[in-house]
Amino acid sequence: MTNDKALSSVVTVKWLLENLNTEHVVTVDASWFMPGSGRDPKAEWQEQRIPGAVFFDFDQEICDKQSHLPHMLPDEAQFSRQVSALGISNHHHVVVYDSQGLFSAPRVWWMFKAMGHDAVAVLDGGLPAWIQSEGPLDTGQPKSRDSGQYQATFQSEWVTDASSLMGHLEDPQIVVLDARPAARFYGQQPEPREGIRSGHMPNAKSLPFGQLVKNNQLLSPQLLKQRFDAISDEEQQLIFSCGSGVTACILALAADVAGRKKLTVYDGSWTEWGAGMKYPVVS
């Protein structure tokens, strides 16, 4: 592996096919489905997966279990312990994929970034692209990996909370980008979670994640740059929000590929902001 490839935030199926069996590469299945889908991502991983892939459960396991909000980022001690248990160490190049193509994998990419791990990438097109390219698959009972030695180093610039964001809504150097569908952003469609208000934060801008993805793959870096240049300046900090902090990370990944540097995810996202009457909402 060359250094530029190792530090790229997105890798192709071709790249992974060439590097899958190198000792420093670890593949991670980060599949997750919306509540009510009837699908079990861990069971699907057990049935078929990219060879050697471990399952990263950011919804039920590698998350802050004390929070009332879904799949919030855990602290660095918990992250270190659970990532080590997956057989991952600091020297590994982590390649994350999901079974939908490009949906939940960026969440785990962002989690590793927030914990100080630069050598992490998303497989563009995910498992569908891998299968389409006739990449090999493991089936049946997964083999356990030996424990790794992972020590996270929390990078606070990658994450923000509601109280901090509240104080920056008028800051001209910050742009809040909302990944939810436009109809939800403008309050024309109810939120899927009960008790959550419709609308958006004051001064936020709508950037539905689907505008950055085509055929389950990110748009080209050039097109992504055009998308972000149209709604923000290069020196502005971008803060990404969505329904519960998953698709916001698609925006973060896309912005990273587009060359943007000041990237932050609002982890509580609309599930926190739209609940109750504490935070201002417009539509």
Burial 44-58 (b: 16+ CB within 10 A, else e): bbbeebbebbbbbbb
Residue 216 burial (CB < 10 Å; 0-12/13-18/19+)?
middle
- Between CA 101 and CA 11 the distance in angstroms is 13
> Does the active-site annotation cover 242?
yes
Task: For residue 54, give Cα distances in angstroms to 28, 44, 125, 272.
Answer: 5, 12, 18, 30
Task: With H, G, I as helix, E, B as strand and everything else as coil, classify residue 6.
Answer: helix
- Between CA 60 and CA 41 the distance in angstroms is 12
What letter does residue 282 receive in the DSSP assignment? B
Q: Where are the beta strands (DSSP E) in 230-271?
A: 237-241, 263-266
DSSP string over 130-147: HHHTT---EESSPPPPPP
Residue 12 burial (CB < 10 Å; 0-12/13-18/19+)?
middle
DSSP string over 18-47: HHTTSTTEEEEE-----TTS---HHHHHHH
Catalytic, out of 123, 239, 242, 246: 242
Residue entry with tokens 């670890």: 26
Active site residues: 242
